[in-house]
Structure 1
């Protein structure tokens, strides 16, 4: 009987632990959903600042790994567009592993700075004295100023929205909520507008249809895409410990 009671107590403790984990895990997203429930009910759009706060919490707490992997896959996937691959290949910046690593680090640093600091800075908050996001965005615009902004930029923007969401939905312990998905879309489209990208979609569904159509027309095999992809794959494989045999 004592053994049975001990077993029951252990089972009850384990169930309570799982329940506590469930409550704590969903506490942040439930709080966020409740906070912006009025937006859903009254069909109100999130402001860029509200969208950024939602994305910030998701990126730093609930889905940091899968969202980061999604960003990295975006940097790899754009090589499938022949015009983008040709541009990178011509620059020569990504054909050496050291240059590729610098691009990855610079991109993640700039994007993280934009996402984790007030965007755009607001005069009615303390963030007005923190210009980091504005400086990072200006740096991004300066880097891309030498290139003509066209639909390739629009495709890249779409991947920055879609890939983190898709990777989180597939591999994270929970998918993004509809509110988080909307926030990611609103924040990135505002960043795209600040970069001067034209013809940005008005809805996530419109973006999905456009991206699929654009990819089918323009994502074709090319020698430059292969060389860039091979360099990128080798870079990531080299990060794996040798004893694993890769």
Structure 2
């Protein structure tokens, strides 16, 4: 079997402050493609569940009436940046489009945007800690922080904590104090949970709704008014993902081609898309 840890050695040879984009791309596209997509989905669900964010999203109807397309738009803008980086023309186009879409919300407090960045930087790493075929190394954690710190700078978001440790402490406090039960968050969760069901392995499809509920931590379930699944589902899910991690670690070859090497395909755009048209019409 080809060396399972070759990518990790290359990552450790890089500088996470200078090379955070390259490290993050390797983490997402080579080392943990399925897990990072799952972690990013959970991160977005968490951001959508913050009461202030949920109120805006329900008010526009973008996630409750045009769910699939708006989820695809969000994912496409994010993955265009991940795949191409900040300096590539497509990465710059995606950042430009994100800034256009956020322009009508300039009065939103900066800490709400920082929370979104914190979720994207931290939640997927915590998923890997629990269910990755290996735990992320310190370079990968620092690169995740560095990637979203730079994204925040390009979005002119103020108030990003100055280190990963500070961001984690800030995230814990903000999440504990501000993520609370909310009707709008519950409506968005009901509208978007099929996206999570679609992300599950086929073997788990018959238990889709219960499994999605088990993926949420108790705090997120409370915020979205989702009841706890039966303990056999929670226990089975945990054991199943742990077994999957062992199988990948010992029997799977490293990914030969990067995630999205042939382009990003979604249900909403089977024939391709223009970055400048992703998201609702600009106002």
Specify the SS of the correspondent of 2:105: coil
Corresponding residue for 1:104? 71
After superposition, give the CA deviation of every residue in 1:123-144 in whole Å (9 maximum; x if it has no partner). Answer: xxxxxxx411111110111111
Report the counterpart of residue 276 of structure 2 in structure 1. Answer: none
| Counterparts of 1:231 and 1:207, CA distance in 2 | 30
* 1:236 positional shift: 4.0
In structure 1, runs of 5+ residues without a counterpart are 1-19, 40-44, 122-129
Counterpart mapping for 1:46-195 below 5 A: 46-47=17-18, 50-96=19-65, 99-119=66-86, 121=87, 130-148=88-106, 149-150=108-109, 151-195=111-155
In structure 2, relative to structure 1, the CA distance for the partners of 1:224 and 1:202 (3 Å cut) is same
Residue 218 to residue 118, structure 1, CA distance change in 2 (3 Å)? closer
Q: CA deviation at 1:108?
A: 1.6
Matching residue of 2:262: none
Q: TM-score, normalised by structure 1?
A: 0.76
How many angstroms does 1:118 deviate by? 3.5
Give the stretch that moved more between structures: 99-108 or 231-240.
231-240
**In structure 2, what is the equivalent of residue 228 of structure 1?**
188
RMSD (Å), alpha carbons: 2.2
Aligned length: 204
Query: Which has the larger Rg?
Result: 1
Cα–Cα, structure 1 residues 237 and 31, in superposed 2: closer, same or farther, change >3 Å? Answer: closer
Q: What's 2:258 paired with?
A: none
1:45-90 deviation line (CA, Å, top 9, x unaligned): 722xx11111111111111111111111112112331111111111
| Runs of 5+ consecutive residues of structure 2 not aligned to the other structure | 209-283
CA 102–186 in structure 1, closer or farther in 2 if over 3 Å, else same: same
Q: Greater helix percent: which structure?
A: 1
- How has the CA–CA distance of structure 1 residues 139 and 211 changed in structure 2, closer, same or farther, with 3 Å as cutoff? same
- TM (norm. structure 2) is 0.67
Q: Structure 1 65/237 Cα, relative in aligned 2: closer, same or farther at 3 Å?
A: closer
Aligned to 1:244: 206
C-alpha displacement of 1:245: 6.4
Secondary structure class of the residue paired with 1:46: coil
